[in-house]
Amino acid sequence: MSAPSLDAFIAYSVSTSTPTVLITSGGTSVPLESNTVRTLENFSTGTRGSSSAELFLKRGYRVIFMHRAGSKLPFLRLIPSPTNVTPELASLIKDCPNPSVKNPISTFTSHLPNLYLLPFTTITSFLTSLESTLKSLSPLSSLSMYYGAAAVSDFYLKNMPEHKIQSTVEGRRINKEDGGGGGKGFKLELDDVPKMLGEVKVWCPGVFLCGFKLETDETILTSKVERSIEKYGLDCVVGNVLSTRYEVCYLYDGGGVEEVRGDVEGGIVEGVVRRHMEYVSREGGGVRLRKEGGGKKERDERIWREMEGWKKGIFWAWESLGPVIGVALVYYIRRRKW
């Protein structure tokens, strides 16, 4: 289970023109002190991210799986136990006679050539990995996809105290009832995490951008999704409600909404892949230079100016070959029996 470098992994996708998806999965952690004792967590087991990864792999995609360290991994999550088995443990127990352990590990191992595992813990390591990975993916242009299933923190502490927050230090307490035995409670002021969705297509022009929206209140889901699509230029959004997220999901693509019930995980990936292949066919594999309008124009021109000579060559090749490849892929994917 030795891993190649991420660059080598992506170079192989480029040389074989294989659709490659960057999946983010699991929750990020926000440390509240430099010497960390306390963290603010966004809860996610990684079920949706890891099961989606399995389905993308089965559909012939190559997968970069950016996951919260210790959260669920594709195939290994199928071992019937609350424990999330890591690749290290999998290699220790791969000869275990129990088929419910042996089989998932063997499936996992067989998919490793097309699966790149990239763990993170804190929001900072998440954002750093995301930017560098998307930049590395940019040569794949429209054949690349960002599938943001992770639960990313909205808030963090820009100026962290060095030491553990004291429950009794003055200035860190609020007085709820003025008189008497001193203050009670604790006031935490958090800053907004820089919104990275708007940067995705700057870091990786041409990427197909699939976002996720999880709400607990169903009534505000659609309006929040629509605002996101408008604000960040998302190509597709998977909307879901915490309590019903394994029974029903909604696929938004700016044009309309598709309700997915029954095999929700399968339905999401099928719907997203169909939209991605239509996008590849439409975009022709190149960065979207021709279709600019409004603020996009300046950005595209800057990208074009900064593009090196050989990349311009690849771009023109994509622009010409892209539609042909796209149509062939759509045909292939629609014909294939899953």
Chain contacts with a second copy (rule: CB under 8 A) = 29, 33, 35-43, 69-70, 79-86, 88-89, 92-93, 95-98, 100-101, 151, 154-155, 162-164, 167, 174, 184-192, 214-217, 242-243
Q: Would you state the structure tokens that stand for residue 208, as one six-digit string?
A: 């197909």
CB of 95 to a second copy, least distance (A): 6
Token representation of residue 22:
């960057």
Exposure of 23 in the CB half-sphere (CA atoms within 13 A): 31
Q: How far is the CB of 41 from a second copy (least distance, A)?
A: 5
Instruction: Report in angstroms how near the CB of residue 192 gets to a second copy at its nearest.
Output: 5
Other CB atoms within 10 A of residue 185 CB: 10
Q: Which is nearer to a second copy, 178 or 306 (CB)?
A: 178
Is residue 321 within 8 Å of residue 179, measured between CB atoms?
Answer: no
Inter-CA distances, 16 with 2, 60, 61, 168, Å: 21, 12, 11, 61
Nearer to a second copy, 96 or 317 (CB): 96
In the complex, least distance from residue 85 CB atom to a second copy, rounded to whole angstroms: 6
SS3 label, residue 194: coil
Inter-residue contact 144 to 286 (CB < 8 Å): no
Closer residue to a second copy (CB): 98 or 132: 98
Give the tokens for residue 265: 């995980």
Q: Which is nearer to a second copy, 174 or 328 (CB)?
A: 174
Taking a C-beta distance cutoff of 8 angstroms, is the pair 134, 200 a contact? yes
Cβ closer to a second copy: 128 or 167? Answer: 167
Instruction: In angstroms, give the least distance from the CB of 328 to a second copy.
Output: 42
